A and B are shown apart, each in its own frame.
Chain A
């Protein structure tokens, strides 16, 4: 093999390293280490000239192993590997020594000791560098199908982008229709676009797209596999209606005798046990709710089936069974949306006790022309038009009290102002007062939107509402402190709207467990890095977008959905996935097929298989995380993690421990 020629490059990193560590002293020391033929320092190794230092030395044949002593490899290891590759050297003949995060940054007040420690760290890296071998990245074939979980605006956007790019998409939605919460909204801020008008064209597009297969009334119940090759089990819950035959005429709905509160209208209006979720539902078919249908509860009725058989398409089918399908996909995008906080537990607000205290989502249905009151905003109690409406902000948000969320739900200031403006437009004489702690109108056009509301005479009082009660004359009274004048005020209103916050949608914990992705402390899915990787999760191939990672408006939701689709495309577009080779590898000559590695592997990445009449361990490189547990328990030293072989580790330890 011949002697290796190691080049060591020590970065000053401005004053980050050089301000604490005496880099020249370290350089002199390193020069004398066995195997090191040159040692240089430079202010910023990651800069172009810094990179060129290495490149030139390789091209001139001076070195064939590189040690870069600088920041954490998490930042620039790929940079330097690229330098080696461009200079014609195998990129895995590089070892990084972290003398910043693990040295200069944590020992800022002890420069002498830090300098000694830097020498130790580099000595370890050099010991390893002597034993580095050239490696090749691993390629795994990847499928071109993508699973999108959630059929709201986020899921629909991601699905459309992927489908238009030629990828096949399976869109799984748990409700009987796609559309999500955006379908319940009347107008969207700050443009005052009609929500249905901008949503439904996309709903239609995604349903008709040849590259999209829609699974509505369905849930993901099993996930196995790895990036490029996931196996997903989807449970299709029965509609009890034949989707091919049903024309959505609605006759069955007219005849059904059972009424329950409508989820779409948030309890303000009833729906039947057989129902079409909303006029623009897709698929536009009836669905039976087995928990309230008389047939399923008591084996009676069946009027819908009769009526449909006699007068319509004969589409009702009580015999339908749930069906499980298995899908093979290359990537998964989680777009499961949010639930609205239920303020029933906040006794002081009287939600649930007083009919005229409602949530903003309920007000959205009242404002909507296709809502239960055809767009007339009336009090639920007596159907009269309210003359005075109060908005209570931060309900269930920004609070440490039990059952509340500590975070700000981000959209409530804007939606309250939007609804206030809508009320003023419909009823010029109405008095709307928003009780707030702060007004968060941060986005493009948002501050101007707030200004517009003030111009129209919407009142704003800075003070968190403490109590709502019904006075003896039957009117609702709101009590708050007007902190800006320092006076406690009590005011009568006809209606109170609670700006309830956003919560992780129901089923988030279960889905996270299935996908093996973590949740943040606020209960939403956790992104890989809040700033640099907002749509990735820690699991390769699983992406997340929209309100599934936390409260956000439609602007950010759509941007994230597009980002997630684009990330999935980047992952799958070449039909294969390239992964770092730092996974376990089996020396088949030494392997006796004892199976201890298979027992100890937590990721199911190694299995003993028969090969040419012998039992030999085989590593699934895409599943292997390189943890090394197999290597520890292997009695013959057959299985080792590349670049972290026992002899490499031992050399590093000996170099400092003697």
Chain B
């Protein structure tokens, strides 16, 4: 099977039939194998209505067949808004949103993570917040009559984060 005309054919050698078991092991994605492709998830998806490439139904299918390359190509998985509309409709309890989260996690393990998300996580690791609260902000709060914010204990949070792989995934803490 070469290139040219036949490159439109789905080459099953690219598919990894064991991939679905890896995905199934992640909580929230357990039910991907019962999807019967009814498509109820897709019509309410704001992204499916406006793009050609993103369909929750198709992502479940690709995950089931194990086409990792297609799944992790471009920003496909990160187009999901996380709005959960698909999950309200699925008659089989498949949870496409949580499946996409699981796939993103697998992608993150292999180094695929949008830079803006990486930045947010880095800020989280060093300040306990995804958006830092600057001195200027603290002043503005006081001006509005709002109480000063208690800073979360970074000492404790560092221990908490150390128990997960978060730091490795995002390439260490943010350097100030």
Contacts and interface: CB of A to CB of B under 8 A. Distances in A.
A479 B49 CA distance: 10
A327 to B, nearest CB: 44
A489 B45 CA distance: 12
Nearest to A462: B39
A481 B59 CA distance: 14
Given A463-B38, A483-B57, A400 B43 contact: no
Given A479-B44, A481-B48, A481-B57, A400 B39 contact: no
Interface stretch (A191-199, A252-260, A464-472): A464-472
Nearest to B86: A466
Interface residues of A, number: 23
B151 to A, nearest CB: 43
Nearest to A436: B38
A437 B37 CA distance: 8
Contact of A464 (B39, B45, B48, B93): B39
Given A464-B89, A465-B40, 18 more contacts: A394-B91, A401-B90, A404-B91, A437-B36, A462-B39, A463-B38, A464-B40, A464-B91, A465-B43, A466-B40, A466-B44, A479-B43, A481-B40, A481-B48, A481-B57, A483-B42, A486-B55, A488-B42
B44 A467 contact: yes
A466 B89 contact: yes
- Interface of chain A, helix or strand or loop or mixed? loop
Nearest to A396: B91
Interface of A: 348, 394, 398-401, 404, 437-438, 462-467, 479-483, 486, 488-489
- Interface of chain B, helix or strand or loop or mixed? loop
Interface in B1-48: 36-45, 48
Nearest to A486: B55
A180 to B, nearest CB: 29
A103 B42 CA distance: 51
B129 interface: no
Contacts of B37: 483
B58 interface: yes
A467 B44 CA distance: 8
Interface of B: 36-45, 48-49, 55, 57-58, 89-93
Contacts of A348: 89
Contacts of A489: 43
Looking at A398, A404, A466, the one whose CB has the most chain B CB atoms below 10 A away is: A466
Contacts, number: 62
B91 A481 contact: no
Contacts of A466: 40-44, 89
A394 B91 CA distance: 10
Given A480-B43, A481-B55, A400 B36 contact: no
A426 to B, nearest CB: 30
5 closest A-B pairs (Cβ-Cβ)? A399-B91, A464-B40, A466-B43, A481-B42, A481-B39
Nearest to B55: A486
A479 B39 CA distance: 11
B43 A486 contact: no
Nearest to B40: A464
A488 B89 CA distance: 15
Contacts of B91: 394, 398-401, 404, 464
A462 B41 CA distance: 13
Contact of A488 (B38, B49, B90, B92): B49
A488 B57 contact: no
A483 B39 contact: yes
Contacts of B43: 463, 465-467, 479-481, 488-489
Contacts of B39: 437, 462-464, 480-483
A488 B43 CA distance: 6
A7 B112 CA distance: 74
Looking at B42, B90, B93, the one whose CB has the most chain A CB atoms below 10 A away is: B42
Contacts of B38: 394, 437, 463-464, 483
A602 to B, nearest CB: 40
A483 B43 CA distance: 10
B90 to A, nearest CB: 8
A78 to B, nearest CB: 41
A390 to B, nearest CB: 13
Contacts of A483: 37-39, 42, 57
26 contacts: A394-B38, A400-B91, A400-B92, A437-B38, A437-B39, A438-B36, A463-B40, A463-B43, A464-B39, A464-B89, A465-B40, A465-B43, A466-B44, A480-B39, A480-B43, A481-B39, A481-B40, A481-B43, A481-B48, A483-B38, A483-B39, A483-B42, A486-B58, A488-B42, A488-B43, A488-B48
B117 to A, nearest CB: 27
Nearest to B94: A400
Nearest to B61: A483
A483 B57 CA distance: 8
Nearest to B91: A399
Nearest to B36: A437
B46 to A, nearest CB: 10
Looking at A462, A465, A483, the one whose CB has the most chain B CB atoms below 10 A away is: A483
A437 B40 CA distance: 9
B24 to A, nearest CB: 17
A404 B93 CA distance: 12
Nearest to A406: B91
Contacts of A479: 43-44
Nearest to B53: A486
Contacts of A398: 91
A122 B45 CA distance: 65
Looking at A398, A438, A464, the one whose CB has the most chain B CB atoms below 10 A away is: A464
A400 B88 CA distance: 11
Contacts of A399: 91-92
Contacts of A438: 36
B54 to A, nearest CB: 11
Looking at B36, B55, B91, B92, the one whose CB has the most chain A CB atoms below 10 A away is: B91
A488 B93 CA distance: 21
A462 to B, nearest CB: 7
Nearest to B93: A400
Contacts of A437: 36, 38-39
A437 B90 CA distance: 12
A318 B49 CA distance: 62
Nearest to B42: A481
Contacts of B44: 466-467, 479
Nearest to A438: B36
A483 B35 CA distance: 13
Nearest to B43: A466
A498 to B, nearest CB: 14
A465 B43 CA distance: 8
Contacts of B48: 481, 488
Nearest to A393: B38
B83 to A, nearest CB: 13
B92 to A, nearest CB: 6
A387 B37 CA distance: 30
Contacts of A400: 91-93
A596 to B, nearest CB: 52
A489 B49 CA distance: 8
A75 to B, nearest CB: 34
A259 to B, nearest CB: 38
Contacts of B41: 466
Contacts of A488: 42-43, 45, 48-49
